[in-house]
Amino acid sequence: MGTHVNLLLGFHSHQPVGNFDHVFEENYKKAYLPFLELLERHPKIRVALHYTGILYQWLNEHHPEINKILRTLVERGQIEMMTGGYYEPILSVIPDEDKQGQIHKLTEYIRESTGYNATGSWLAERVWEPHLASHFAQAGIRYTITDDSHFRSAGLQESETWGYYLTEDSGKTLAIFPISERMRYLIPFDPVNRTVDFLREVLAKGGSPLIVMADDGEKFGGWPGTFEHCYKKGWVEDFFKALEDNLDWIKLMTFNECLNTVKPLGRIYLPTASYSEMMEWAMPTPAILKYERFVESLQSQNQYEENKPFVRGGFWRNFLAKYPESNNIHKKMLRVSRKVNHILQNPKPYDLPTEYLLKMKDHLYAGQTNCGYWHGIFGGLYLNYLRSALYQNLISAENMADQAVHADKPWMEIEELDFDNDGEKEILISTPKMNCYFRPASGGALFEEDIREISFNLLDTLSRKPEAYHEKLRHGHVIVGDAPVQEDSAVSIHDIVRAKEPGLENHLFYDRHPRYSYIDHFFDPATSIENFKNGQYKETGDFTLQPYSSQYRQENGMAIIDMIRTGVLYPDSMPSPFTVKKTFSMDSKSLKTIMAYQLINQSPVSLKFCFGIEINLALLAGYADDRYYYSPGSDIKITPNNLASMGELPQLTEIGVKDHWLGLDCRLMFPIPANVWRFPIETVSLSEAGFEKVYQSSVLLPHWEIELHPGASWEITLLKDIILNH
C-alpha cells in the first residue's frame, strides 16, 4: 500500500455570450460566490479555478468583490488560475490565429486581474483533437485536462489513468491530465465518505496514485437543487473538512505543482474525443437510437461496464453535418475571421486606432462561443438567443472590417463561392446595408439576410428535426411542470419525462427542408394551412430546393441575380414541363429587395395549381406584445397578431411585421392580391426543466391559385422593404 494519494481538484465556470443577465446573477449568488467564500475559510484546500473570459469579465464588472477573493487566494498559493479560449470556443474548429488570440486574451486578463501567470488550459467541452498539442504549446500552455474516457479509448485500464501523460504534435509537448469519471459522478451527489472511501481503494492498489476531479463550477449550487444540497445542507463544507481530516494521506496539490514534482506515467496519443454524451449527441438521430439500444443490450447482459472503453459515439465536428444551421454559423465565422485577420495582420494601410482593432477582434472572438454551435440534451443550438448573439457579434466584426476597407465610399460586392463547403457554389451579395446569401443549388433560396445596421440575421432560424429524445416524449409517461410523481405509480422512473406544457407530443412535426426564404412551392388548391404547416401535403412540382441555374451582374447601381429552372408539374400525376424564372435585385443604399417571377407552362395541356413563395422571418420572440403582424394601408385587423399566431389572410396586397425591440418594420408587397398564410416554426427540445416548445421563426406564404394554358406565362413582381426606427 502506498503512503499517500495525490488529489488535484479543478472547477470550470462558464456562461455563454447571449445568456440572460439574471442567469449570470443567479449563478453568482448560488454557485460562484459561496464556493469562493468556503475556500477562503479553508486555506488548506488547494484547487485550480477556470472562469471563461465572458464570465470573468461580467463578474469583475458586476461584483468586483469576487476578484478580491481570487487575488487573495492566489497570493497565499491556495489556488492556481487556468486559462483557455476567452469566449470558450471549440478550439479545434476555429482558425489557428484565433486559437492563439483567444488563449492569449484570457491569459492576459487573468494576469491583470489576479497577478497569476496561467500555464494550464481548460479544454472547452473536453473536445480533443491531436493537433491541439502544438497550438497549446505555442500559446505557452504546459497542460490541459480531459476525461479519463479519452485515455480508456486509447486502450488504458482505469488504474493506468491515475497519473498524467505527455503527448506531442510536431515535436511540441503537452501534459494531459485525465479526469476520473468515478470522482465526477461521486462529487457532489454521493455522501462525502464515499469519495474518501474511493480514494482509500485507489491508495490500497499501491504506489502514489494521482487522481483528478475537474468539473463544472455550476454543479456546486447552480444546477437545480444543488444550492440547498451543497450549501444549506453543507455538502461542500463537509467535503473540505473531510479532506482536511485526512491530509496525512491525501495530498492536495495544484496542477503546476504536480508537473514540477511528479513524473508523467509516459507518452500517449489520444484519439479525437469529447465526453461520452457529447460524442453520442454528435451522431445522426437514427444512429443515436441504435447506439442507445446497443448500450441497453450490453447493460442487460452485465457487459457494459467492462466494455465501456470500446463503446463510443461520433466526432464533435459532425454537428456541422447534422445541423445545417450550425454549419452556416461556422462558415460565417470563418469568413469573418478571414476579413478581420487580414486587417490585423496588415494594419498599416488602414490607419486604425488600436481600440478599433481590439473591438473588432473581440466581436469575432465572441462569435466563436461554442454553446450555440451544437445540441445535446439541453438547449444549445435550439436556443435562438444564443444563435442570435453569435450572429450579432460576427456581423458587428464584419461591419468593422468592411468599414476599414471601404471607409465611407459607396460599395457593393457580388461573390460566387462554395460558402458552406458542400460542393455547390453560393452567391453572396454584400452592401453597407445588407448581406444576402443565395443558394442556386437549393431552389435559388435566400439563406442569410443580415441587416447590418442592427447586426441581425433575419434568417437565423432552425428547422424542426427529429431528435432521439423525442421517442421518450412519444412513449414515456409525461408529467407537466413540477407536478410530483405518484409514489404508487407503476411507471418506471426511467419512463417518466417532464414537459413545460401539456400536449407537446402533438407538436412533433418535422420540416422537409431548411427554413430559408424565397422557396418556391406548388401544391394542390385543396391543401389546408394546417397540412402545409405540418408538412402533411404533396408538392405538385419539383422546384422546392431543387437546382436553379443562375447568373449575376451589377447594373445601374443594382446587384441582380437571374435564376431559372425548367422542371415539371404533375397536378394530375402526369409530368408537365414547366419553367420558373426569378430575378432578385437590390441596391447598396437601401434595405429593399425586388423579386420578379415568371411562370411558364411548357406543356401541351392547361395546368391549374397553387403557387406560393415561402418567406421566413426570425425575430426571436413569438409571443411578445411588441412584435406583431399588421396590414399596412388596409382596414384588415389581424387577430391574434403575435408572431406565433397562425391564420389565413385573403386577398392581401401588403403585409407587414413590426419588431419594436429591434426597431424594425418589414413590409411585403405584391400587386396581385394573394391569400397569405402565416404560422410559426416551433421546435420541441429538452431543457433543464423538461421538454419545451421554442419559437424559431414565422413563415409568410403568399400564394395564388393559377391556371395556365399551353405556352402561357404568369408574372408578378414582389417588393420587400425593411425600415429601421431604432
Catalytic residues: 125, 216
- Residue 600, helix vs strand vs coil: strand
Query: 439-478 in b/e burial notation, b at 16+ Cβ within 10 A?
Result: bbbbbbbbbbbbbbbbbbbbbbbbbbbebbbbebbeebeb
Helix and strand counts by DSSP (H, E) for the chain? 21, 27
Distance CA 648, CA 699 (A): 12
> Three-class SS string for 569-584?
ECCCCCCEEEEEEEEE
Structural contact between residues 577 and 605, judged by C-beta atoms closer than 8 angstroms: no
- Residue 14, helix vs strand vs coil: coil
For the chain, how many residues are written?
726
Handedness of CA 401, 404, 406, 407 (dihedral sign): positive
Set of cell numbers at residue 293: 439500444
Set of cell numbers at residue 713: 406565362
Distance CA 646, CA 624 (A): 15
Neighbour tally for 296: CB within 10 Å: 11
Structural contact between residues 587 and 602, judged by C-beta atoms closer than 8 angstroms: no
Distance CA 286, CA 288 (A): 5
Distance CA 8, CA 707 (A): 75
User: What residues have CB less than 8 Å from 157, skipping those under 6 apart?
Assistant: none
Please name the helix (run of DSSP H) or strand (run of DSSP E) that holds residue 256, with its range, or none: helix 255-261
Distance CA 135, CA 145 (A): 15
Set of cell numbers at residue 721: 422593404
β-strands 576-587, 592-601: how paired?
antiparallel
Structural contact between residues 135 and 154, judged by C-beta atoms closer than 8 angstroms: no
Instruction: Dump strand ranges (E) for 524-557.
Output: 549-555
Distance CA 223, CA 235 (A): 14
- 406565362: which residue's cell? 713
Distance of CA 417 to the CA centre of its chain: 25
- Would you list the DSSP string of 90-105? -GGGS-HHHHHHHHHH
Burial environment of residue 311 by CB neighbours within 10 A (0 to 12, 13 to 18, 19 or more): middle
- Residue 472, helix vs strand vs coil: helix
Structural contact between residues 696 and 721, judged by C-beta atoms closer than 8 angstroms: no
